[in-house]
Amino acid sequence: MPLTVLFESPELQAGSPIDIVAVRNLFDVVTPPIDSWDWLPRLIRQETWQCRILLYDYNPDSLLDIGTSGDECLRSEADALLKDLLLYRRLEAESKRPLVFICHGFGGLIVKSALVRSGVVKEASAWCRSIFLSTYAVLFVSTPHLGISRSALEILSPYAAGPINQFAIALLYESTRVREPPDSSMLSDLHLQFRPLADSVLVFNYWELQDTHIGDMSALLVEKHSAAPTLEGSESYGLAAAHRDLLSFNDKTNQGTEHIWSVLKSCVSSAASSIQARWRSDPFLNQDSHLDALSPPEPEHGHNFQRNIITGGRTHFGDNITNNYIVNRNGHHRSDPGDGNPQESATQKAYKFSKRSCPRFTGRQLQLRLLQRAFADPSAVSGREGPRIAVIHGVSGSGKTQFCLKYAEQARHDYWDVFFIDASSKANAEARYSILGQEHGRGATFEAGKFWLYERTKPWLLILDNADDPDLGIADLIPDSAYGDVLITTRNRKVVDTFPQGFALQLRGMDPEDAVELLLKTADLPPQRQDRPTAKILATELRYLALAINLAGNSIRQHCRTLKEYLAHYLNERHVVAVSSDDADELEKEEAVVFANWNMTFDRIKIDRAKAAEDARILLSIFVHLHFESISREIFRAAWLSPESVNQDVPDLLKLKPIKSRPTESWGLTERRLSKAINVLHDYSIIEYDTERETCMIHPLIHKWAKTRLTAQAGTNALEQKTQGTIKAPEGDIDWLSYTVELLSRGISSHLDTSGSRFRRSILPHINFCVSILERSRSLYPKNRHEAIHLQRFALLYAESGHWKQARDLQRRVVDFCCSGLGQNHEASLEAQRILSQILWNSFKIEETIKLQGRLIQARTLSRKRLSDWFPIWPPMHLEYCIALNDITQSLWLAGELGISEYTGQRAYAGLKAKLGSIDPLTLSAMLNLARTLHHLGQLARAQQLLVAVMRKRQKFFGPNHPDTLMAENEFGMTCLASKDFVQAETVVTSVYEIKRTLGDDHVGMHMTKGNLARAYARSRQLDKAMAVLDEMFERIGPKHPNWSEVMTGRAEVEIKLGQLAEASRTCREVLQQMDLEEQPKLPRALRLVGPKNPVRAADLQRAKVLKLLNEVSKARSVAF
């Protein structure tokens, strides 16, 4: 049994006893022997403490089991720890005894997961809550809260019990440095879920100061930022030891022991009163109806309890915990929407909004009070029919965005969370919503992300920034929820007219005194300076614009100019700017003020010959070809780490690579060089830099002018060089757009590996911006093979994000270039055409897809890479030909050409099995495609035989919760339904349905599973169960959900079978009414096919089905009458 008593005070019941639970590490190489924990009881015996020391020792093989997801591994061990503690403490009636955990390394993740699962239960598992309520403190000793590096995993991997599994891989952070929240979804979920619970528990984080040496390898196994992340109220402490030796103490004077001992001493003296008060004040367990639930169930058969060692099996708590209470990625506790209390306090939240206003923000107090009055009491939603909307409009540079950020900071305690969306274009806004949907398990689509936000039942704030485009359709970007407050910043005054019932606030120049104060503060000049009158004149000439004043102040500080000198230079420069002419409208005059200031600032950087200034000019030339928001350092890091060769004409800042012989040292030099360049731009206020997120941002107006100025300058330099025959300057006729495209492309893996998905989503706005420039200025792009590769990667990224039209347009360009320049049968052309066919398939261009795939099969027949591919000559059996057969099989199946699909599917399966074996993912895909076709041909036994094989192999190698595994199980359930084996269908689909404990009710695959389960119940005449599943789905979605009409149609079918004709009629009419309100269908697939040349809209099919049901209701009523 993993729970062992190391020490117990002789008179434990006297005084106020506590339980100290020690949890060991995972890998043997870094895990001290159990005997090394003897220091704890040995030192405690010298005190008079009333305590018991329990050692929790688990089997590491369960965490290192191949084929099991990291989430499942961690959850299993957390459940085991909870159960063992509960059963042990139950025997002695000690459920309210204070607990203190000491966790070494990976053991800390088990404790965090256990506390999360204990702290969020509802009444079905109220007894489990006692562990969380009794936990007074947790000491995390080098726990990888945010993950570990690849070098650390390389050290650990030879000592794991077998190959490193998905749990170990889930601990990796994908970037070159650790960050918060973690890259890993497993650690991110755990970190965010634990954050609100940490307010009730004392948290102490310890990190290692010495490397672990294994053979010729050495590294810090858990870096400081991962071992001691930012957590309000926590304490952090460094220990001068390697990872293994962190808990090897000899006496209390040891540097590490002294601190840990003082923490334990404080816990012993203070824990009892604190825990008793917590039990008394807990609103849930104070209810009489819940007190009986605190006793755990009787021990299962086979448990054998002893005084010092408990042995027995383990079970999961998932059924009772997550079914009734959901913990989402943002770490807040949220009841199901169907039974949640909309008035729930906004104080229980995970406020993770990281954007902050400028530290020198000055003034606007009257406007802030007006906005606060308009958005008073965000939690009072009674009587609201939709969100409250405020439009902040005004000229460029007036500080609209900073004003909104300042309001968000001041009102942060009133909102559950704040969401910032760049609305400068519809594509960028939809991309941000897509990321929101994907992060919360709803799918990477605009509708999914918007609906997720609509569904929140705690007050939230949405900032839509830079909504200037008149064709944006700003109203479509706002979820229609009474829980939302929405701030819109825009230069377009017509946006105000879009929301006549909203609050509108115009920002122009600052208050004159506030403007002078900001200027002096930014210039680092005394506020009572004798030339304050000059500051007033300069502020007036700057039209009191916050952006222009900020630029001027920083320029004065950097250049060490006086106010009078800067004023003279500025007045001269402003006349140079064309847009400052007398006939320019007011908006252009405001821009001229900012442009003149920017010219002066850039000219100063331009004449600076320091290396950092030169790099700053290179960065700025790149930045103007990226979107102005969220320019991450990861873009440069990913490009530097790319194994590809780099164009030698590229400036060296863009092609730096770590030196293999000195990777750590050279990487530090590379990072410092980039930091110096960023600092130059930041010091001159050309960019803003977020140190926490490591992102740069350029004000849209500066971005616009910088692009205009740098482009014009490049053209002038090129003309001068051509005329004079001089060597080009560093900023001469360099093709910065092409270099920017290459920079982004090098950071995209050609295989789109899952570890880089977060990074790829983050650069989508920058790719949108680059592509828009290419479309406007370079109709012949791509002109060479390298450019074609870059464009193809962008197309793959668009496809991965669900932007099929953009992916299709770019990939057509790639195919046209490859076929015309390299020939249709060139390998690069064939690969480009295959990618295009996959994009067309997902765009439901099925007829075009089949034609293209047919040409690929013909080409693969004659084009064979290897000499061995020509044997046999006929029929072809080489790998690329079999892959092409598999591709066309699923297209023919979708088009209804089942006979041909069966033929191609059988050949593809046989060929791939012969070439790759029966367990290769491509072979399994071919088996699944063939099984689908056989299912629709009525050959259900053969289909089931194939699907069973696919399920077993995917479960073993991918894990039971992998999307491909779930897809195979759903397909098998559908074949059982078709064969009228309703019991088997119910069993299979129910097993998939139970995985919602891991994936959550809102996972993208769960709606399909629930729909299949409802069909299984309905066809087996278990109508009450079918209705229960449909009711559960109905409670989780609303009319704006993409699957709402399908769920309601299924509900109407069951109501008819139950004889509830009036209810069925109302349901059908409600669906038709909602479909009439929608301009476009919100179904997951906009098109379905009746035949290969007869595409019909899914909405039309749905409408026909609903009308048919209404007709059935009418007939049934007539018969009854």
Instruction: Residue 69: name the closest of 750, 959, 827 by CA.
Output: 959
> What ranges in 644-763 are assigned the alpha helix state H?
663-683, 700-724, 736-746, 757-762
Dihedral of alpha carbons 235, 241, 245, 248, sign: negative
For position 276, what pLDDT does the model report? 81
For residue 385, which phi and psi values (nearest 5 degrees)? -105, -10
Token couple for 437: 């949907």
CB 519 within 8 A of CB 552: yes
**Would residue 627 count as lying in a domain?**
yes
Average pLDDT over residues 4-28: 74
For position 903, what pLDDT does the model report? 92
Which letter, b or e, does each residue of 887-896 get, where b requires 16 or more Cβ atoms within 10 Å of its Cβ? bbbbbbbbbe
For position 443, what pLDDT does the model report? 66
For strands 202-208 and 135-141, give the pairing: parallel
Lowest average pLDDT, out of 335-349, 569-583, 617-631, goes to: 335-349
Higher pLDDT, 195 or 832: 832
Average pLDDT over residues 32-48: 65
Confidence class for position 580, pLDDT limits 50, 70, 90: very low
**Would residue 318 count as lying in a domain?**
no
Same domain, 547 and 580: yes
Quote the pTM value: 0.57
For strands 695-697 and 631-632, give the pairing: antiparallel
- The CA distance from 962 to 797, in Å, is 21
**Measured between alpha carbons, how far apart are the two ends of the chain, in Å?**
69
Cβ-based burial of 842 (10 A; exposed 0-12, middle 13-18, buried ≥19): middle
Could you say which of 725, 744, 777 is where a domain stops? 777
Same domain, 186 and 72: yes
Other C-beta atoms lying within 10 Å of the C-beta of residue 469: 16
Ranked by mean pLDDT, which of 76-85, 115-124, 249-258, 660-669 comes out on top?
Answer: 76-85
CB 808 within 8 A of CB 836: yes
**Would residue 793 count as lying in a domain?**
no
**Would residue 209 count as lying in a domain?**
yes
Helices (H) and strands (E) in the chain, counts: 45, 23
Look at residue 1097 and tell me whether its pLDDT is greater than 90.
no
Structural domain boundaries enclosing 141? 4-281
Same domain, 600 and 697: no
Residue with tokens 């009102």: 411
Lowest average pLDDT, out of 252-266, 684-698, 789-803, goes to: 252-266
Same domain, 159 and 261: yes
Same domain, 417 and 477: yes
Confidence class for position 1090, pLDDT limits 50, 70, 90: very low
For strands 484-490 and 388-394, give the pairing: parallel
Same domain, 536 and 582: yes
For position 53, what pLDDT does the model report? 86
CATH of the domain at 430: 3.40.50.300
Number of domains in the chain: 4
**Would residue 597 count as lying in a domain?**
yes
Instruction: Residue 1053: name the closest of 1116, 1001, 979 by CA.
Output: 1116
- What are the C-alpha distances in Å from 197 to residues 66, 248, 328? 32, 30, 14
Look at residue 811 and tell me whether its pLDDT is greater than 80.
yes
Paired strand residues for 239: 208
Look at residue 600 and tell me whether its pLDDT is greater than 60.
yes
Confidence class for position 1000, pLDDT limits 50, 70, 90: very low
> What ranges in 531-578 are assigned the alpha helix state H?
532-541, 546-559, 563-576
**Would residue 456 count as lying in a domain?**
yes
Average pLDDT, the chain: 73
Confidence class for position 350, pLDDT limits 50, 70, 90: very low
Average pLDDT over residues 645-657: 68
Sequence-distant (6+) residues with CB within 8 A of 1037 are 1007, 1043, 1044, 1047
For position 61, what pLDDT does the model report? 60
Percent of the chain with pLDDT over 90: 6
Same domain, 672 and 556: no
For strands 688-690 and 460-465, give the pairing: unpaired
Paired strand residues for 102: 22, 139
Could you say which of 281, 315, 341 is where a domain stops? 281
Q: What residue type is 148 in one-letter code?
A: I
Average pLDDT over residues 223-238: 81
Percent of the chain with pLDDT over 70: 67
Average pLDDT over residues 573-581: 55
CATH of the domain at 164: 3.40.50
- The CA distance from 13 to 251, in Å, is 28
Average pLDDT over residues 987-1001: 51
Look at residue 1001 and tell me whether its pLDDT is greater than 50.
no
For 387-468, strand residue ranges (E) read 388-394, 417-422, 460-465
Other C-beta atoms lying within 10 Å of the C-beta of residue 787: 21
For position 460, what pLDDT does the model report? 92
Is it true that the peptide bond before 470 is cis, omega within 30 degrees of 0?
Answer: no
Dihedral of alpha carbons 678, 684, 686, 687, sign: positive
Average pLDDT over residues 88-99: 72
Which letter, b or e, does each residue of 715-743 get, where b requires 16 or more Cβ atoms within 10 Å of its Cβ? eebeeeeeeeeeeeeebbbbebbbbbbbb
Look at residue 145 and tell me whether its pLDDT is greater than 60.
yes
Could you say which of 251, 281, 311 is where a domain stops? 281
Paired strand residues for 246: none
**Would residue 1013 count as lying in a domain?**
no
Lowest average pLDDT, out of 65-69, 889-893, 903-907, 981-985, goes to: 65-69
Which letter, b or e, does each residue of 678-708 get, where b requires 16 or more Cβ atoms within 10 Å of its Cβ? bebbbbbbbbbbeeebbbbbbbbbbbbbbbe
Same domain, 66 and 185: yes
Confidence class for position 588, pLDDT limits 50, 70, 90: low
Q: Cα angle vertex 680, ends 563, 561, to 5°?
A: 15
Average pLDDT over residues 1006-1025: 65
For position 736, what pLDDT does the model report? 85
- What are the C-alpha distances in Å from 746 to residues 742, 775, 793? 6, 21, 9
Sequence-distant (6+) residues with CB within 8 A of 692 are 180, 354
Average pLDDT over residues 1091-1116: 61
Other C-beta atoms lying within 10 Å of the C-beta of residue 855: 16
Confidence class for position 464, pLDDT limits 50, 70, 90: very high
Paired strand residues for 20: 53, 100
Same domain, 539 and 629: no
Q: What residue type is 68 in one-letter code?
A: T
DSSP-derived 3-state class of residue 830: helix
Q: What residue type is 305 in one-letter code?
A: F
Average pLDDT over residues 774-785: 81
Q: For residue range 725-765, what is the model confidence (pLDDT) as tens digits?
A: 443 434 445 688 888 888 888 888 777 766 677 788 888 88
Same domain, 495 and 517: no
Q: What residue type is 824 in one-letter code?
A: Q
For position 712, what pLDDT does the model report? 57
Other C-beta atoms lying within 10 Å of the C-beta of residue 17: 20
Length of the chain: 1121
Same domain, 453 and 497: yes
Angle between helical axes of 982-993 and 1006-1019 (0-180°, round to 10): 150
**Would residue 618 count as lying in a domain?**
yes
Same domain, 448 and 498: yes
For position 519, what pLDDT does the model report? 82
Ranked by mean pLDDT, which of 125-139, 418-432, 1003-1017 comes out on top?
Answer: 418-432
Other C-beta atoms lying within 10 Å of the C-beta of residue 356: 15
Q: For residue range 511-542, what is the model confidence (pLDDT) as tens digits?
A: 888 888 888 888 777 766 666 788 888 888 77
Look at residue 802 and tell me whether its pLDDT is greater than 80.
no
